[in-house]
Structure 1
Amino acid sequence: MKKEVIHQLHKNFEDCARQKDGVEYWLARELQVLLGYKEWRNFDLVIDKAKVACEKAGQAVLDHFVDVNKMVELGSQSQREVEDIALTRYACYLIAQNGDPRKDAVAFAMTYFAVQTRKQELIETRMAEWERLRAREKLTLSQKELSGVLFERGIDSPGFSRILSRGDAALFGGLTTQGMKQRLAVPDSRPLADFLPTITIKAKDFANEITNTQVKQQDLQGEPGISREHIKNNRDVRKLLTQRDIVPEDLPAAEDAKKLERRLKSEAQKLPRLTPKLGRKRR
């Protein structure tokens, strides 16, 4: 997500934050707009899912989702009372978790409400970490899909591994998968992708997607032909990166994706304990 998008979303969410007795909260109808939901009935379904998640986590729903009423302006300059819900940070986090992650605002909200500080630079760092994990998950899916397509064309597991390694050699300037693992000090038992930076993970995923499409469109058969296609696609992706002064094999190793995932999940699990309850003063 671009920095300017994060900046604008951060401002939007900050502008809607409220406080009562030292406890910060957001109103559901304002959060609905922030998260890009046009109709309340659709957003209300997301809130219901969030309440179920809250209960399953052993938290009291009424501590985090508090029914309130507020007056809204009508077109005739009159006012009408509507039902709303005051939401703690934890409630907002659960709503974001159950929202549509394809929406930029929802993806941002998952991070914004997961961290205890609202400083933009720390949220940007956390967003980058989540983006890397999502990219890693997508690479796993594209690799699995490619494996299935190749299996239908007579490529067994060893053959699939050889094709991937040849693709890596094309992407990393001649360095095979094993060569890159040695270069980045990746343990033999771990996948190389778990230690690659986001840009390289996305590059591998993009090459997989192209190969997958080309194998289907051209009905490629057998290891030699499919291998040539995958090498070409990785070489083309490498060319695109190097033209922008990004040399994949020269990028430093990133934090172990499994370790990063555990850390982020651990922080999220602490959120309900660290979030003050609505209607109770913070001690």
Structure 2
Amino acid sequence: MSVPINLAKLVFVEEAPLLKNMNQNPASIPSFDDFTIVGEATDAAKTWWASDLAQMLGYNDMTSFAKTIRRAMGACLSANIDCSDEFSKTKRVVDGNVVDDFKLTRFACYMVVMNGDSKKQQVARAQVYFAQQAEQFDLILEGKNDVERIIARAEITDGNKSLNAAAAASGVTNFAIFNDAGYRGLYNMGIKQVSAKKGVVNGTLLDHMGRTELAANLFRITLTEDRLKMNNVKGENNACLVHRSVGKGVRDMVRDNTGMYPEDLPVERKLGEVQKQLKKANKQLNK
């Protein structure tokens, strides 16, 4: 089943800079699929220029769009999807000049759109368009929410490595106690108690967190690392006190902004299931 052509037109192109001076009537406005790269062999191999997509989404140039592309690629890597098959860096001739660009598959366009700035009207409408496409293939995806959860989870993994290195430099040797201090500050209880309260298997809590809770933990991690380094904290006990204090501060921030404490924030489906859905989307959207 294909998306009705009027939906495709409504989402991307009617306000795109590419077309702002064309004075076309709605019936003649091209659809998203009309912007595929000319000369592709088959429908299954359709690709789009990233620079064209940037204009459709209201970005002024590729420099400002590059961060969105990098985040989309990072999400793919976190879901064990080969980026080289989806984001093909290449050269493009524009007005006689050779410029750097990417060829994007339909799935890559989806990932880029879901990482776009939702405050831009074109991005918000494009997200609706791709959500409609995902639904047609019975893909259980929550769009930007799922993609941001995957990215945040990967950032926490990297952040914990960096934090532990800073903790070791401060003299921490018992990392279980050190990390428990941070959790107790954030949740007012240990990680096992948090898992039990939320009804998830111990050891999988991070994979069940929503965006807000993941962001809170990432902030706890990065802020603790900064304080350990900036204050030149020495001694395991002092490092644990810093971690707990930071966690408590983030706890209060979550309460002030959501009306709930972190342990009361809702759980979401395990990220492993989200990653499976993205792999399925990778196959289905590129058909």
Aligned partner of 1:166 among 170, 175, 181 = 181
CA distance in 2, matches of 1:259, 1:39: 33
CA distance in 2, matches of 1:254, 1:165: 23
Aligned partner of 2:274 among 250, 257, 260 = 260
Aligned partners of 1:112 and 1:123 also within 8 Å: no
CA distance in 1, matches of 2:106, 2:61: 17
| Structure 2 CA distance for partners of 1:198 and 1:100, relative to 1, 3 Å | closer
| TM-score normalised over the length of structure 1 | 0.62
Where does residue 78 of structure 2 map in the other structure? none
Shift of 1:246: 2.2
Provide the secondary structure at the position in 2 that maps to 1:186.
coil
Where does residue 152 of structure 1 map in the other structure? 169
Where does residue 12 of structure 2 map in the other structure? 13
Aligned partner of 1:142 among 155, 159, 170 = 159
CA distance in 2, matches of 1:118, 1:267: 7
| Structure 2 CA distance for partners of 1:241 and 1:11, relative to 1, 3 Å | farther
Larger radius of gyration: 1
CA distance in 2, matches of 1:261, 1:128: 13
Q: Is 2:203 the counterpart of 1:194?
A: no
Aligned partner of 1:221 among 227, 230, 234 = 234
| Structure 2 CA distance for partners of 1:163 and 1:124, relative to 1, 3 Å | same
Shift of 1:257: 1.3
Structure 2, unaligned runs of 5 or more: 1-8, 17-28, 37-48, 74-80, 98-102
Q: Is 2:152 the counterpart of 1:129?
A: no
Deviations 1:48-87 (A, max 9, x none): xx9xx99x759xx9xxxxx9xxxxxxxxxxxx999xxxxx
| Structure 2 CA distance for partners of 1:251 and 1:94, relative to 1, 3 Å | closer
Percent of pairs with identical residues: 18
| Structure 2 CA distance for partners of 1:142 and 1:11, relative to 1, 3 Å | farther
CA distance in 1, matches of 2:228, 2:191: 22
Deviations 1:195-224 (A, max 9, x none): 122111111110111110011111112211
| TM-score normalised over the length of structure 2 | 0.61
Where does residue 39 of structure 2 map in the other structure? none
Where does residue 247 of structure 1 map in the other structure? 261
What RMSD, in angstroms, separates the aligned Cα atoms of the two structures? 4.6
Where does residue 76 of structure 1 map in the other structure? none
Report the residue type matching 2:155 in the other structure.
Answer: K
Aligned partners of 1:135 and 1:201 also within 8 Å: yes
Shift of 1:256: 0.7
Aligned partners of 1:93 and 1:114 also within 8 Å: no
Work out the number of aligned pairs and report it: 223
Provide the secondary structure at the position in 2 that maps to 1:266.
helix
Structure 1, unaligned runs of 5 or more: 1-9, 62-66, 68-79, 83-87, 274-283
Shift of 1:24: 3.1
Aligned partner of 1:25 among 26, 31, 34 = 34
Where does residue 199 of structure 2 map in the other structure? 185
Report the residue type matching 2:133 in the other structure.
Answer: T
Aligned partners of 1:92 and 1:113 also within 8 Å: no
Report the residue type matching 1:168 in the other structure.
Answer: Y
